[in-house]
């Protein structure tokens, strides 16, 4: 490094840009805003003398255009009279140094020119900088009553008097309640007044008065590129129903991420029947309906296609009287189109390709839609379809159920129940958690959509959900062990 005479007197805001200096160095401890005084090192000067490094830290200062910059890893050397900036260390950090016509410029890759220094008579580049002074503000309270009020997190003066009268705090003086109000307490304890009861005009029928509120812009935006949320409340019902966002990762039949979904739903458990709603309806297809559609398609060699639609109105379709999620549209010459709904998932099949195209175009024209092609995975049911046969199964869901109830490492068995098994209420048996047992039965019951081979065993253990015992739990675990060796099983459809 360059040799600086220790007797030289230098201004505290002057730093010298040095090509031979191995590290940034500073002799003024007060300039550091972060200093590790346990760090030790030795630096050799140009005259072969050595000085000790008594710490390493960071210094903030203002550069060109009032940019706040930080010099990191600066050596603190108490005996150093001049502050040094190592050009080599700057270049290691990605800074660009240019010296055109006796002027040294320091460039940042993003901020551009941040500092420049002119060469002086001794061929050195002094850099005059303004430090980012670390400030500490303080305030002083003279009145002891207000001091104790602040010390106890704005405790009321009545509460302070109670502490004093009961000698609950050592050193607490007698409290004299002041006449002034604490502004922070007023702001922090503000509340909304309730709606007046009986005085304001109230509605006498539904939708006579509707309150609305809008929220936004919301970040991040929704999948439909929406940033605002509007809420309407009927004054007649006099109740606000909360909502919440439900996030879900949708997987395909290969257990790969297909898409990320977000849905705003109403907290229905806060609603009251007869006040907030009169009836319940959800467009949810039953597994029996799906199996029927697949069977019909297999018998007639029809393909089944799948769409992801946020909402849809099926004009021109006839709704099934017994299955409200099944819609049928007939055309000339025996043409037919069958549609099955499950909230925002939709499958359709039929015998005319032109009806397929017209149906998709009509949906796409009015609603957000994703064409998923031929049905491969629907409601957790994996589908393999060819021109002559269909196979449906729940392999992925079966693995999930085994992992959920920690049965994935158990040895498989060949039958879902022990031959000749007869279960009873087992009133003297050791009881198990009924909620846990119900979760097992519900999970297995959903598997029966494509696994009729476990239907008997599941129905058998479902009789004892109210008061299950270890006997019933062992029977349920045997069904899991049977699943372990038969995850590939399903239902096979083919044309006769």
pLDDT in tens, 249-294: 776 656 677 777 777 776 665 666 666 566 665 566 788 888 999 9
Place of tokens 């005259």: 47
Find the mean pLDDT for residues 7-19. 67
Averaged over 119-142, what is the pLDDT? 74
**Per-residue model confidence (pLDDT) at position 495:** 84
Within 10 Å of residue 21's Cβ, how many Cβ atoms? 20
Q: Average pLDDT of the chain?
A: 83
> What residues pair up with 369 in beta bridges, in sequence order?
309
The predicted-structure confidence for 50-82, as pLDDT tens digits, reads as follows: 888 999 999 887 776 667 778 889 999 987 888
The pLDDT of residue 251? 67
- Better pLDDT: 470 or 64: 470
| Percent of the chain predicted with pLDDT > 90 | 31
pLDDT surpassing 60 at residue 11: no
Tell me what the mean pLDDT of segment 414-437 comes to: 91
pLDDT digit string (tens) for 29-43? 888 888 998 899 988
The predicted pLDDT at position 242 comes to 66
Q: Give the contacts of 247 (CB within 8 A, at least 6 positions apart).
A: 260, 261, 262
Residue with the larger pLDDT of the pair 311 and 154 = 154
Q: Where are the domains of the chain?
A: 14-131, 144-187, 210-270, 287-389, 394-493
The pLDDT of residue 4 is: 44
Q: Which CATH number, 2.40.70, 3.40.50, 3.10.450, 1.20.1300, labels domain 14-131?
A: 2.40.70
Domain 287-389 has CATH 3.30.160: yes
Task: State the pLDDT at residue 478.
Answer: 95
For residue 7, pLDDT over 70 is answered with no
Distance CA 268, CA 223 (A): 23
* pLDDT tier, 370 (very low <50, low <70, confident <90, very high otherwise): confident
Of 114-128, 140-154, 268-282, 451-465, the poorest mean pLDDT is in: 268-282
Q: What is the reported pLDDT for 451?
A: 94
Task: Select from 240, 239, 259, 241 the least CA-distant residue to 249.
Answer: 259
User: What's the pLDDT at 134?
Assistant: 58
The predicted structure's pLDDT at residue 443: 94
Could you tell me which residues are beta bridge partners of residue 347? Answer: 306, 340
């Amino acid at each position: 490094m360059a040799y600086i005479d220790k007797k030289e007197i230098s201004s505290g805001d002057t730093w010298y840009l040095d090509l031979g200096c191995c590290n940034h160095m500073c002799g003024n401890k007060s300039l550091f805003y972060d200093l590790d005084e346990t760090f030790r090192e030795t630096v050799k000067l140009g005259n072969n003398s050595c000085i000790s490094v008594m710490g390493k830290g960071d210094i903030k200062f203002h550069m060109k255009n009032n940019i706040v910059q930080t010099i990191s890893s600066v050596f603190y050397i108490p005996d150093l009279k001049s502050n040094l900036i190592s050009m080599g260390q700057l270049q290691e950090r990605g800074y660009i140094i240019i010296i055109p016509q006796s002027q040294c410029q320091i460039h940042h890759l993003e901020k551009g020119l941040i500092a420049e220094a002119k060469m002086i008579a001794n061929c050195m580049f002094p850099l005059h900088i303004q430090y980012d002074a670390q400030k500490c503000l303080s305030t002083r309270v003279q009145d002891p009553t207000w001091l104790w009020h602040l010390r106890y997190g704005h405790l009321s003066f009545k509460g302070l008097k109670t502490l004093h009268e009961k000698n609950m705090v050592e050193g607490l003086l007698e409290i004299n309640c002041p006449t002034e109000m604490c502004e922070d307490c007023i702001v922090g304890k503000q509340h909304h007044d309730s709606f007046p009861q009986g005085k304001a005009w109230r509605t006498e029928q539904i939708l006579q008065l509707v309150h609305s509120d809008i929220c936004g812009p919301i970040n991040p935006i929704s999948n439909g590129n929406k940033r605002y949320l509007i809420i309407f409340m009927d004054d007649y019902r006099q109740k606000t129903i909360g909502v919440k966002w439900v996030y879900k990762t949708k997987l395909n039949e290969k257990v790969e991420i297909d898409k990320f979904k977000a849905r705003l739903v109403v907290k229905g458990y806060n609603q009251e029947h007869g006040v907030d709603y009169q009836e319940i309806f959800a467009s949810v297809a039953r597994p029996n309906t799906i199996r029927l559609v697949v069977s019909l398609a297999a018998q007639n060699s029809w393909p089944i296609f799948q769409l992801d639609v946020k909402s849809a109105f099926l004009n021109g379709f006839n709704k099934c009287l017994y299955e409200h999620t099944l819609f049928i549209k007939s055309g000339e010459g025996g043409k037919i189109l069958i549609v099955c709904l499950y909230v925002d998932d939709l499958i359709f099949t039929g015998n005319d390709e032109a009806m397929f195209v017209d149906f998709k175009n009509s949906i796409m024209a009015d609603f957000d839609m994703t064409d998923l092609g031929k049905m491969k995975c629907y409601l957790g049911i994996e589908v393999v379809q060819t021109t002559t046969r269909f196979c449906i199964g729940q392999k992925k869901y079966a693995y999930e159920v085994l992992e959920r109830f920690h049965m994935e490492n158990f040895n498989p068995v060949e039958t879902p129940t022990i031959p000749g098994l007869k279960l009873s209420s087992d009133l003297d048996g050791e009881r198990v958690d009924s909620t846990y047992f119900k979760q097992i039965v519900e999970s297995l019951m959903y598997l029966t959509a494509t696994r009729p081979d476990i239907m008997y065993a599941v129905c058998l253990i479902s009789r004892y959900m109210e008061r299950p015992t270890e006997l019933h739990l062992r029977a349920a675990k045997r069904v899991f062990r049977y699943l372990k060796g038969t995850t590939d099983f399903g239902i096979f459809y083919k044309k006769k």
